[in-house]
Chains A and B, each alone.
Chain A
């Protein structure tokens, strides 16, 4: 009897730790869940319209991004259709729950629907998988927000595979952000001693970190402390913040998303450490976090292509429409998706494509046309695309003052 107990207890514990470890692993793989497949917003607007597909996480842990791109694209589509011009769009949005496999399934659904151009996918990991499919099927793809170079492919920009010539980005690539940040800090003389805290388990964060370090070495910026965290250790930042503080850094570079950034700001305030905080586009969203004490973010600088309180009429029109329809201030993801639709419209006009053409014909025409157009949108003016798929637009330096973004 006792022996039995002994055996079962030990195997039980061992199994326990095994399963614990596997839970851990699955926790690392980001959030995928089995929620519903719903939310297939379809809007047919007659026979003579281009069929635009959208894929993004509408449910699950990354839903905040997919919902934003979906809503932003929807507003642009509705505006264009309401204008009643020569180009009309039909829109079909699919959920991928930020999961590569589900994203490819969503893509196949859209192909069955007859999609001619894809706006998506929203998040990077699924986008790498889906862009391989669109490349093989010859369907033109413009992603609003998947920022890794592996989405585009091409060794010259540092991607691991060959260039997928039908894929273009509306957002900056990760490396561009690192380079631009270092350049901006150096040009504006924002700091003499720089500390960095980045997420070494995240491709986005390490991508920016690596290029930032390269450029910083080139510009002779003095990086005095670098510490890391992972998604699993993103709870306690006391060590990282005190390392930055002890090194005497007067600028803390945070190439990370806003959720850990909010914890770092709180910890810094606790330790009475007040350097200049410098973030990237992942910092966007910190002010809309429910319950966030905006005074913690006072003076935080970030490079972002879009600010909701910019005073040009285009941005204001978009923001007020978004607020009316969805009750939120749109973030950069929504703005990028909005611009995607207008950029596609501009490229279609330049290429002279018609809705009765096949997806492949449209794809080849758009590949040629998009590198020739200069596009003015809400995330930048004078935007152009290189044949590498990268977008060229200048990031704006924004500083947070009294809970709002103000242009520097």
Chain B
């Protein structure tokens, strides 16, 4: 039974990583940049929904909607102000800028919301499900997180394969220059990618804080880095890869804690990253890059 409940705990943690990883992978897949500020947009999403629920007394559904709208606007703003001027610059410059944005968001949050942690009221108010006389407990937040993950994954896949905008995104990801020649507005497409990525970050923020209910200006940074690891393990740029990588990482972390040592769990998780990258440099579901000479 201990094993089963560790699996369940691993999946709950992994599904939170996965939902963050989806945002990373989405932006990387299309704009070819690592948006290290993603974790901090998640934190902003957490605060926006917290304020809506606790201070304004709104229903959780509206709180989630406000968080999504707020983060989408924030994402567009960040993209317009920080990343767009660097469209022609090297990828390293953009990466450094993303780290700068990450610190900016964290410190702005410190100024606005102060450093003392807040306890987040879960958006899903339901009793946990108990099986086998209460030995196996599944929290409703985990169920919802897994479900939302699958919905987002299917939604994103349909969007990028079936719609005109989605096809334009994939075209940009394959070859920006050629896409532009075919009449695709590359700038607008990349902005849209950021908008969607940030909207996803808001959902991730709400679910992260509902599952692990404290909210601080640094709430998003460590899960953000772990989720980035998950995206790389799964194959960054691959949407199902993000889900697979997230779940794998979550289960690995819980198993490492439960069966090896609580002291080494992070070392083990990052060792998994190194091993996967040694064996499959493009990640589990990443497209292997053919080298033509």
Interface residues of A (CB under 8 A from B): 2-3, 5-6, 8-10, 12-13, 15-17, 19-20, 23-24, 27, 31, 33-35, 59-64, 200, 227-233, 235-236, 238-240, 242-243, 246, 259, 262-263, 266, 270-272, 285, 288-293
Q: Are A9 and B289 in contact (CB under 8 A)?
A: yes
Q: Are B290 and A2 in contact (CB under 8 A)?
A: yes
Q: Are A233 and B266 in contact (CB under 8 A)?
A: yes
B212-240: CB near A (< 8 Å → 1, else 0) gives 11101110011101001100100010000
The 4 closest A-B pairs by CB, nearest first: A291-B119, A238-B9, A239-B257, A290-B118
Q: Are A262 and B13 in contact (CB under 8 A)?
A: no
Q: Are B262 and A64 in contact (CB under 8 A)?
A: no
Q: Are B120 and A59 in contact (CB under 8 A)?
A: no
Q: Is B198's beta carbon under 8 Å from chain A? A: no
Interface contacts beyond A17-B273, A290-B116: sample of 20 additional A-B pairs, CB < 8 Å, sorted by A = A6-B291, A13-B232, A16-B95, A20-B36, A23-B36, A24-B222, A33-B107, A35-B107, A61-B110, A61-B217, A63-B110, A233-B253, A233-B266, A235-B223, A236-B212, A238-B9, A238-B13, A259-B214, A259-B216, A289-B119
Most B C-beta atoms less than 10 A away, residue of A12, A63, A229, A240: A12
Q: Are A227 and B262 in contact (CB under 8 A)?
A: yes
Q: Is B70's beta carbon under 8 Å from chain A? A: no
Q: Are A262 and B291 in contact (CB under 8 A)?
A: no
Known contacts A233-B266, A236-B254; A270 and B128 CB within 8 A of each other: yes
Q: Is B147's beta carbon under 8 Å from chain A? A: no
Q: Are A61 and B218 in contact (CB under 8 A)?
A: yes
Q: Are A262 and B262 in contact (CB under 8 A)?
A: no
A34-B111 Cα distance, complex, nearest whole Å: 11
Q: Are B290 and A61 in contact (CB under 8 A)?
A: no
B112-130: CB near A (< 8 Å → 1, else 0) gives 0011111111000000100
Select A3's contact among B6, B262, B293, beta carbons within 8 Å.
B293
Q: Is B160's beta carbon under 8 Å from chain A? A: no
Q: Is B99's beta carbon under 8 Å from chain A? A: yes
Cβ distance B76 to chain A, nearest Cβ, rounded Å: 23
Q: Which residues of A contact B222 (CB under 8 A)?
A: 24, 27, 231-232, 235
Known contacts A64-B115, A242-B2; A13 and B236 CB within 8 A of each other: yes
Interface residues of B (CB under 8 A from A): 2, 5-6, 9, 12-13, 34, 36, 50, 54, 91-92, 95, 99, 102-103, 106-107, 110-111, 114-121, 128, 134, 137, 139, 212-214, 216-218, 221-223, 225, 228-229, 232, 236, 253-254, 257-258, 262-263, 265-266, 273, 277, 281, 289-293
Chain A interface main SS type:
helix
Q: Which residues of A contact B292 (CB under 8 A)?
A: 2-3
Q: Which residues of A contact B273 (CB under 8 A)?
A: 17
Q: Are B134 and A272 in contact (CB under 8 A)?
A: yes
Select B110's contact among A3, A60, A236, beta carbons within 8 Å.
A60
Q: Are A232 and B266 in contact (CB under 8 A)?
A: yes
Minimal Cβ-Cβ distance residue in A for B255: A239
Cβ distance B135 to chain A, nearest Cβ, rounded Å: 10
Known contacts A272-B134, A291-B54; A239 and B6 CB within 8 A of each other: yes
Cβ distance B202 to chain A, nearest Cβ, rounded Å: 19
Number of residue pairs A-B, CB distance < 8 angstroms: 151
Q: Are B232 and A262 in contact (CB under 8 A)?
A: no
Minimal Cβ-Cβ distance residue in B for A14: B277
Minimal Cβ-Cβ distance residue in A for B222: A232
Select B92's contact among A15, A64, A232, beta carbons within 8 Å.
A15
Known contacts A23-B221, A259-B214, A263-B214; A8 and B120 CB within 8 A of each other: no
Q: Are B115 and A263 in contact (CB under 8 A)?
A: no
Q: Are A20 and B137 in contact (CB under 8 A)?
A: no
A104-B13 Cα distance, complex, nearest whole Å: 41
Q: Are A236 and B13 in contact (CB under 8 A)?
A: yes
A236-B256 Cα distance, complex, nearest whole Å: 13
Q: Are B117 and A259 in contact (CB under 8 A)?
A: yes
A16-B103 Cα distance, complex, nearest whole Å: 16
Minimal Cβ-Cβ distance residue in B for A7: B291
Minimal Cβ-Cβ distance residue in A for B92: A15
Q: Which residues of B contact A19 (CB under 8 A)?
A: 36, 95, 99
A13-B111 Cα distance, complex, nearest whole Å: 33
Q: Can you list 9 A-B pairs, Cβ within 8 angstroms, ordered by A?
A: A3-B291, A20-B36, A20-B229, A24-B225, A227-B257, A238-B12, A262-B214, A270-B139, A291-B50
Q: Are A230 and B266 in contact (CB under 8 A)?
A: yes
Known contacts A15-B95, A23-B36; A228 and B128 CB within 8 A of each other: no
Q: Are A292 and B236 in contact (CB under 8 A)?
A: no
Q: Are B262 and A33 in contact (CB under 8 A)?
A: no
A215-B192 Cα distance, complex, nearest whole Å: 61
Q: Which residues of A contact B229 (CB under 8 A)?
A: 20
Minimal Cβ-Cβ distance residue in B for A34: B107
Q: Are A233 and B265 in contact (CB under 8 A)?
A: yes
Q: Are B262 and A228 in contact (CB under 8 A)?
A: yes
Q: Are A5 and B107 in contact (CB under 8 A)?
A: no
Most A C-beta atoms less than 10 A away, residue of B111, B121, B257, B258: B257
Cβ distance B19 to chain A, nearest Cβ, rounded Å: 14
A398-B2 Cα distance, complex, nearest whole Å: 35
Most A C-beta atoms less than 10 A away, residue of B107, B277, B281: B107
Cβ distance A79 to chain B, nearest Cβ, rounded Å: 26
Select B99's contact among A23, A227, A240, A243, beta carbons within 8 Å.
A23
Minimal Cβ-Cβ distance residue in B for A266: B213
Cβ distance B264 to chain A, nearest Cβ, rounded Å: 10
Q: Which residues of A contact B116 (CB under 8 A)?
A: 64, 285, 288-290
